Amino acid sequence: MSDLKLTMGNIEFDNPIWVASGTFGYGTEAPELVDVNRLGAIVTKSITRQPREGNPPPRIVETPSGMINSIGLANIGVERYIKEMLPIYESLTTKIIMNIAGTDIQEYIEILEMVESVSSVIAGYEINISCPNVKKGGMEFGVDCDMTAKLTDALRSRTDRLIIMKLSPNVSDIVSIGQASQDAGADAVSAINTVVGMSISAKTGTSDIYTTYGGLSGPAIKPVGLAAVHKLYQKLNIPIIGIGGIVNGQDVAEYMLAGAQAVQVGTANFRNPGISEDILSQLETFISESKWPSANDMVGQVKTHS
């Protein structure tokens, strides 16, 4: 079996197959369907300072080869996360990455400091600067280089754990946001978050999502994710975690060839919460049948025509 281990910051991950924030709950929802300890990491659902109910329904709709969601960061809040979830993670061997969302820099800092002040096995933080579904949400950070740099810097100075900035595709230049994250001390970037989208039912003449616009995910956005990862790989020297439309081992290989060192499986979890285990096996088979000695050897090695 090929070696799938990878190192990011000072953390060693068993394999590059992670599950994406918001698509896997807190990691404990479907124990009958998935052995989470086989995953490289679980990125838990975005946590905010206070609990959040989320948006009114309808919150989701299927679209061609994808879906649009506008959940609105429904979550238990950081206090319950610390009290109820952190103790559960002690018994898991998979790595836990906590995803954090805030409305201003102070809120991100407060959440991170609350978690840092207790002992836990958390490997790091993924910073949601790009949720499209919350008014006054993280989007302003995700589209602005200076704000991204300030936020990254503020969090960097407060933790030795991994800091991963999650980038939005809904920007004019994703590379400059990635660069700002790197320069301010981020250990890695993950790309992409969902693409702003809309779905309309012609028959009824109505929008299918309460908030009108939502986040498009699934295989429909894989080409957008691949392009973002490839562009980031040309300019950045920190690891990139690829996200967007991954449903099988071949998709993972494509993201790795584009420049991703690890990937996150998202929407596919909704169809089958155990799909990441299948994807891991498929990746192992793919590598063993390929010319690549290991997963790491593939990273960024796509042959382009120019």
Interface with another protein by CB under 8 A: which residues? Answer: 22-25, 29-30, 32-33, 50-54, 56-62, 64-67, 69, 71, 74-77, 80, 218-219, 247, 267-274
Name, in order, each residue with C-beta under 8 angstroms of 70's C-beta and a sequence gap of 6 or more: 55, 59, 60, 133, 209, 210, 211, 213, 214, 215
Q: Which CB, 76 or 109, lies closer to another protein? A: 76
Nearest C-alpha neighbor of 241 from the set 84, 40, 23? 40
- Contact between 14 and 4 (Cβ < 8 Å): yes
Q: Which is nearer to another protein, 40 or 245 (CB)?
A: 245
User: Is 38 buried (19+), middle (13-18) or exposed (0-12) by CB count in 10 A?
Assistant: middle
Report in angstroms how near the CB of residue 204 gets to another protein at its nearest: 13
Residues 247/219, Cβ–Cβ less than 8 Å: yes
User: Shortest gap between Cβ of 95 and another protein (angstroms)?
Assistant: 19
> Tokens standing for 118?
């207790």
CB closer to another protein, 45 vs 231:
45
Active site residue 131: yes
Q: Is 205 helix (H, G, I), strand (E, B) or coil?
A: coil
Three-state DSSP state, 249: helix
Please say which residue, 159 or 272, places its beta carbon nearer to another protein.
272
Q: What is the length of the chain? A: 306
> At its nearest, how many Å lie between another protein and the CB of residue 242?
17
Catalytic annotation, pick one of 131, 164, 232, 295: 131
What minimum distance in Å lies between the beta carbon of 139 and another protein?
Answer: 20
Q: Which residues are catalytic?
A: 131
